[in-house]
Amino acid sequence: MGILEGKRIVVTGVLTDASLAFSIAKAVQEEGAEIVLTSFGRAMSLTRRIARRLPSEPDVLELDVTRPEQAAEVAGEVGRRWGSLDGLVHAIGNAPESCLGGDILRAEWPDVATALQISTYSLKVLAGAFAPLLEQAPAGGSLLGLDFDATVAWPAYDWMGVAKAGFESLARYLARDLGPRNIRVNLLAAGPVRTMASKSIPGFAHFEEVWDGRAPLGWDVHDPGPVGKTAAALLSDYFPKTTGEIVHVDGGFHAMGA
């Protein structure tokens, strides 16, 4: 039996089989969980195609996080299927081109607002919609978000770095408010992995060049496996009193001064 045997988990953000969300979906299935994926718009067909590459093909439900009513509809569908929800993975982030590239003064408010709505506020949208199901989980619910360390300024990351800083703060406040409902809220700060999302970040190659040499455990930008395994553990019953935490899966890069 796997550590997630009998668990039911919703995973957002699966676009390709190189994505971190796909690695998480695969890992939690291998540990015994039943899952549902979400996607939206033109990406739906892509997510359905990639879903066939998982150990067991899951259903894909449409969920646009800029439409809170749709999140409520998906939560309703999940509730009708399962009655409760053990885990929810937030793997959603996006920013207009002007918000990235190394000149943070370039972006105007409408683009910044889009980045913050999709990459930060969406965690609140999902938490609000799915909390009634997560609090019904027999061993408590787990809300897990994918992060990229926001304690420093990264090359070219700009407003996505600001969005992630807000994401980290929001997770702490959600941990405060959802803890009494027996819902844990944690973030997983992953090292750089070559995904579709990373390709949209100018200067991503710089991360690839320095990360492996500085991380004491080493780092492979082509291997999202460690992220998937850690996510599975955080979604399991093995972290029953851990909330408001940021767990780094980056080979130790974040702890090194030089």
Q: Amino acid identity, residue 26?
A: K
The reply to whether 173 belongs to the active site is no
The encoded tokens of residue 67 equal: 């439409």
- Locate tokens 């994918």: which residue? 146
- Locate tokens 């979906």: which residue? 25
Catalytic annotation, pick one of 7, 26, 121, 157: 157
Is residue 25 classed as helix, strand or coil in its secondary structure? helix
- Closest alpha carbon to 66 in 121, 10, 130: 121
Q: Amino acid identity, residue 230?
A: T
Cβ-proximal residues to 85 (8 Å cutoff; 6+ apart), any chain: 8, 9, 10, 78, 79, 130, 133, 134, 136, 137, 141
Distance, in Å, from the CA atom of 227 to the CA atom of 147, rounded to the nearest integer, reads 11
The reply to whether 164 belongs to the active site is yes
Distance, in Å, from the CA atom of 239 to the CA atom of 212, rounded to the nearest integer, reads 29
- Closest alpha carbon to 213 in 153, 258, 148, 157: 258
The encoded tokens of residue 121 equal: 């506020």
Catalytic annotation, pick one of 121, 164, 173, 241: 164
Tell me how far the alpha carbon of residue 115 is from its chain's centroid: 15
DSSP code for 220: -
* Catalytically active residues, by annotation: 157, 164
